[in-house]
Amino acid sequence: MRILAVITGDYGARHVQNISTHGPKEWSIESWDAPTALPLMIDYPEDYLPESLPAADLMLALAEHKGIAELLPEIAQMTGARAVIAPVDNEAWLPRGLARQLRGWLERQNVACVTPKPFCSLTETHYGVTRRERLTYQDPLIAEFARHFGRPSFDIQVDPETRVITAAVARRDAACGCAAYAAERLVGISADEAEQEGGMLHHHYPCLASMGIDSDFGDTLMHVSGNIMRDEIGEQVKPFKRVDYIAPGTRSDEFEDQNRGEDP
């Protein structure tokens, strides 16, 4: 699969580096540094594009500027891309209304497009857009990418006697590499502490999703992303966690004897 990543800074560069290093060997990935000095309205997208771009099957829109979305349909035509992943890790980079427009523009070109919010909500069949809303899709190129990168998925082994993690790998990494980073550092951690430790590792990586409150979630997208990873880790270690039960208290017989016959 030929992948073209459209980037403007460190956010996109980190994703490209991780995908290039850990993606399937048969994938080829190239990147284009898009311009950031763009007008509020782009009447002629071709004025901001190079004369040529590498041919691609799948495009990753990883720019940190909302104006880049208006260039993507033209880039798809130039490169022959048949599918686009435009993640929303920051509402300022791809507002919800513009994300809907982008999906519509590309659909009219017969180009599949998903806009997972956050990026690590992407699976082989659906992706998140709000706290409770998921959108489904059917596209083999996007699904092939999502088999390897998207919503973190782990294979965690726990010693049943000590309840300590003995091995952990990310079956599906986050596109930025956060899940693989966390998995390597979970070994030796108690099952009781794995979720909390996973959340700390997520922040230490660090996640590059927005730290501002997102109105679709009522939370920061960084926190939403962290909860996704914590939940996945929690499911893996759940059978090995210690569960403490608190029995309701009862008055002792001695207390009953002392107070028997006394007026209330």
Per-residue b or e along 46-67, where b marks 16 or more CB atoms closer than 10 Å to that residue's CB: eebbeeebeebbbbbbbbbbbb
Beta bridge partners of 149: 173
**Rounded Cα distance, 63 and 7, in Å:** 4
Which domains, ranges and CATH numbers included, belong to the chain? 2-146 (3.40.50.720), 153-240 (no CATH)
Q: Which residues of 129-152 are buried (b: 16+ CB within 10 A; e: fewer)?
A: beeeeeeebebebbbbbbebbbbb
Distance from chain centroid for Cα 103: 19
User: Residue 201's pLDDT is what?
Assistant: 96
Long-range contacts (CB closer than 8 Å, 24 or more residues apart) made by 227-230: 227/199, 228/118, 228/120, 228/121, 228/151, 228/152, 229/120, 229/152, 229/174, 229/178, 229/179, 229/182, 229/198, 229/199, 229/202, 230/195, 230/196, 230/198, 230/199, 230/202
The answer to whether the beta carbons of residues 54 and 5 sit under 8 Å apart is: no
pLDDT by residue, tens only, the chain of 264 residues: 999 999 999 999 999 999 999 999 999 999 999 998 887 778 778 888 999 999 999 999 999 999 999 999 999 999 999 999 999 999 999 999 999 999 999 999 999 999 999 999 999 999 999 999 999 999 999 999 999 999 999 999 999 999 999 999 999 999 999 999 999 999 999 999 999 999 999 999 999 999 999 999 999 999 999 999 999 999 999 999 986 555 565 554 554 555 555 444
* Rounded alpha-carbon distances, angstroms, from residue 191 to 61, 119, 145, 182: 37, 27, 30, 14
- Beta strand 219-220 with 83-85: parallel, antiparallel or unpaired? unpaired
Cα 106-110-113 angle, rounded to 5 deg? 45
Give the separation between CA 32 and CA 159, rounded to whole angstroms.
Answer: 46
* Type of residue found at 139: D
Q: At what angle do helices 178-186 and 221-237 cross, to 10 degrees?
A: 40
What's the pLDDT at 38?
82
CA dihedral in degrees (107, 108, 109, 111; nearest 10)? 10
pTM over 0.75: yes
